[in-house]
Amino acid sequence: MSKRFVMLWFRYLRTDWFTRRQSRLRDIPFVLSSPDHGRMMVTAANTIAQSHHINVGMVVADARAIIPSLEILDDRPELSDKLLKGLAEWCIRYTPFVAIDPADGLILDATGCAHLWGSEKLYLEDIVSRLKSLGYNVRAAMADTMGTAWAIAHYGKQNFIVECNQQSTALLSLPPECLRLEYESVGRLHTLGLSKVGNIIGMQRSALRRRFGGHILQRLDQALGNKDEIIQPVQPIEPYQERLPSLEPIVTATGIGIALEKLLEIVCTRLQQEQKGLRVAIFKCYRVDGRMEKIEIGTNRPSYNRHHLFKLFELKIETIEPDLGIDLFILEAQKVEPVSPIQEKLWQTTDGLENLHLSELLDRFSGKYGAKSIHRFLPAEHYWPERSFKQALSIDEKLSSEWKDDRPRPVQLLPIPERIEVMAPVPDYPPMNFRYKGKLHKVTKADGPERIEQEWWLQKGQHRDYYYVEDEEGKRYWLFRSGHYSDKFYQWFIHGFFA
């Protein structure tokens, strides 16, 4: 398949933008101006002003002498780059490869894209008509090379679609300016009577190099397809990315879901063939008004199970606002990892944390309630209860030590022990009752104490004597006394709750 490129030339880029913002400018002549060496110079002019021979580079005072009612607006030098970037992102609905051609154009690598619109003619017409509906005056051309597409868009009179391998014929009658040459080289070519590309193509390359340098040969080779031309897309193309354009805008959640299922089927089939799985994916929806909606999912383990992945996305489809409709869907697998098959044991009925169904269940919980709502804890080598565990970095993290289960521990442990009022006999008897958050609890059963010493290498402090107690309602608590009963400043705390 031969390469096909589209060149978009926005002849009045900045003035079109001002017209879009102020509709009154549509029917009056106006220019943009900026200071230059103490004078105000015209930096852009709309079509009406140009029809009166007011062009870029003219002094504003001279332009106003031609049209006394001429509207003068302050130019914004950074506007062109900002507009082109925004338009390039909008054009991603037509191809994933869109690059900026400073200072007023875009280049689209349309290879393999036009058939989705029925033909190259319909493809180009759709681009132009929709950009014009947004208020931009644009010329477009398609060819095998970027150089030829640029030449036809800027200087072509007809046949804006150049057939494959016909770029040489299309360039013959065009002026040498179409080769994107320096101003000095173009002037010398015209002085020598070389006013068409056809006059240049037939000349010896050594003569061209000697007279005009190597740049003219480079541009000629690029336009004819003898030398590749490298451009940088505005958005890097993800290696695992699939696109689904829609000829009719989609406005329903059902339609969005169908598009997502189709994209997941393509991506997951490819991942399965390559023995890889998805970890992070983004589903992008490009609306007809130029805005983009997106939802993102993540998995605990690499997965190519499209039904599971669809369920994760399905939880978030309702957050997508289609507005007037969505005409392009893109699915990007931003993080992909190899899939390692889990070795099953003949007599073992569960895989523990390696169980695939458990991993998928956690994925769905994370998608619905947020990844921060699910925690896994591992034992830590500390005596102090609040330091005796740590949060795992992933579901696959292995134990560095075994859990200590020789003593009972509460299901819920307070991160910071809370002060309570306790009545207890001496010297080391368990509490008889305690008051917590204003409520008095009468202790009916108790066990203890279990002494846990302070970790002197971390901080200084008193030891703790822990008691397991049960109140008259059958609820069990974990209480401790900080310091000896005989100490002057001993205190009681509640540290946890048993199920």
Do 142 and 283 lie in one domain? The reply is no
Number of domains in the chain: 3
Which residue in this structure is represented by tokens 């993290």? 397
pLDDT at 391: 75
For residues 159 and 171, is the Cβ–Cβ distance under 8 A? no
Q: Among residues 496, 490, 309, 338, which one has the least CA distance to residue 418?
A: 496
pLDDT at 366: 77
Do 324 and 400 lie in one domain? The reply is no
Look at residues 155, 189, 204 and tell me which one is the last residue of a structural domain: 155
Do 326 and 387 lie in one domain? The reply is no
Q: In degrees rounded to 5, what are phi and psi of residue 448?
A: 140, 180
Do 406 and 324 lie in one domain? The reply is no
Residues whose CB is less than 8 angstroms from the CB of residue 211 and which lie 6 or more positions away in sequence, other chains included: 188
- Residue ranges making up the domain that contains 16: 5-155
With a cut of 50, which residues of the chain have pLDDT below it? 346
pTM of the shown model: 0.67
The domain spanning residue 267 has which CATH number?
Answer: 3.30.1490.100
pLDDT at 346: 46
Look at residues 286, 311, 338 and tell me which one is the last residue of a structural domain: 338
Is the torsion defined by CA of 377, 382, 383, 387 positive or negative? negative
In a domain, 174, yes or no: no
Do 308 and 380 lie in one domain? The reply is no
Do 266 and 313 lie in one domain? The reply is yes
Do 485 and 385 lie in one domain? The reply is yes
Do 18 and 150 lie in one domain? The reply is yes
Please name the residue ranges forming H helices in 213-297: 214-224, 253-273
Token pair of 475 as six digits: 């609820």
Q: What is the pLDDT of residues 232-266, one digit of tens each?
A: 899 887 788 898 988 789 999 999 999 999 999 99
Long-range contacts of 112-120, Cβ-Cβ distance < 8 Å, separation of 24 or more: 112/1, 114/4, 114/142, 116/245, 117/247, 120/4, 120/161
Q: Which helix (H) or strand (E) holds 66?
A: helix 60-66
Q: Among residues 86, 100, 84, which one has the least CA distance to residue 232?
A: 100
Look at residues 155, 179, 199 and tell me which one is the last residue of a structural domain: 155
Do 394 and 332 lie in one domain? The reply is no
Looking at the chain, the number of H-run helices and the number of E-run strands are 14, 20
Q: Among residues 275, 264, 269, which one has the least CA distance to residue 338?
A: 275
CA distance 145 to 488: 90
pLDDT at 352: 62
**In terms of DSSP bridges, do strands 433-436 and 464-471 run parallel, antiparallel, or are they unpaired?**
unpaired
Q: What is the pLDDT of residues 108-133, one digit of tens each?
A: 999 988 888 889 999 999 999 999 99
Report helix, strand or coil for 459. Answer: coil
For residues 152 and 160, is the Cβ–Cβ distance under 8 A? yes
In a domain, 230, yes or no: no
